[in-house]
């Protein structure tokens, strides 16, 4: 079963630099996960609980420590897959074309920025979504999750939900087995 298409853009929002509307995005995300996905709902509740009562500045500091200061958790998918190799340039060019084709603005980030790719997964045809999820998003998120092991970082919950949603687009579950 594919994730609710409304969940992916909201998850993308949770992986963007926090602003004053960030906590409202979290509330919306919990609603999008819905009763049909109790594991994602529980993970998003845990994320919300961990952030409860924090100022926007504290959220920004956590975000920066998690995604900007540690290359193991950068939100640049191509970095996880290709490093600085030539293949990353090809990947960036392809993703830029797909983002444009699907009306997704890059803003100030590179085209392999995970929130952009989550928006692409939500808008693209199922075959393209499955390809991008399976070849790029799932393997990169697995590396990011490995970089968070033992850190007790609340963003691990969000990345786990992202992994599950992207895996569902490919027909696989988190454990790697195929869904019927």
Q: What is the mean pLDDT of residues 28-45?
A: 73
Decide if pLDDT at 90 tops 60.
Answer: yes
Exposed/middle/buried for residue 174 (C-beta within 10 Å: 0-12, 13-18, 19+): middle
| 149 domain residue, yes or no | yes
| 177 domain residue, yes or no | no
Decide if pLDDT at 37 tops 90.
Answer: no
| 176 domain residue, yes or no | no
| 70 domain residue, yes or no | yes
Reported as a pLDDT band with limits 50, 70 and 90, residue 149 is confident
Percentage of the chain beyond pLDDT 90 is 64
> In this predicted structure, what is the pLDDT of residue 174?
43
Tally the domains of the chain: 1
| 180 domain residue, yes or no | no
Q: In which domain, by residue range, is 161 found?
A: 7-170
| Per-residue model confidence as pLDDT tens digits over 152-178 | 999 999 999 999 999 999 975 444 433
- Residue 78: name the closest of 122, 52, 34, 110 by CA: 110
- C-alpha dist (Å) from residue 138 to 16, 31, 49, 114, 171: 18, 23, 26, 11, 12
| 30 domain residue, yes or no | yes
Estimate to the nearest angstrom the gap between the alpha carbon of 137 and the chain centroid: 8
| 166 domain residue, yes or no | yes
d(CA 23, CA 72): 25
| 93 domain residue, yes or no | yes
d(CA 114, CA 136): 10
Quick check: pTM over 0.85? yes
């Amino acid at each position: 079963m594919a994730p609710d298409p409304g969940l992916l853009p909201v998850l993308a929002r949770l992986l963007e630099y926090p602003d004053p509307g960030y906590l409202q995005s979290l509330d919306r995300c919990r609603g999008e996960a819905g009763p049909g996905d109790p594991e994602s709902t529980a993970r998003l509740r845990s994320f919300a609980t961990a952030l409860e009562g924090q100022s926007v500045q504290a959220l920004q500091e956590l975000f920066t420590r998690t995604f900007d200061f540690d290359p193991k958790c950068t939100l640049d998918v191509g970095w996880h897959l290709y490093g600085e190799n030539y293949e990353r340039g090809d990947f960036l060019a392809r993703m830029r074309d797909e983002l444009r084709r699907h009306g997704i603005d890059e803003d100030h980030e590179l085209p392999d920025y995970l929130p952009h790719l989550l928006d692409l997964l939500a808008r693209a045809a199922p075959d393209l979504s499955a390809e991008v999820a399976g070849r790029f998003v799932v393997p990169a998120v697995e590396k990011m999750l490995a970089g968070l092991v033992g850190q007790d970082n609340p963003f691990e919950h969000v990345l786990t939900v992202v992994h599950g949603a992207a895996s569902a687009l490919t027909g696989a579950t988190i454990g790697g087995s195929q869904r019927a």
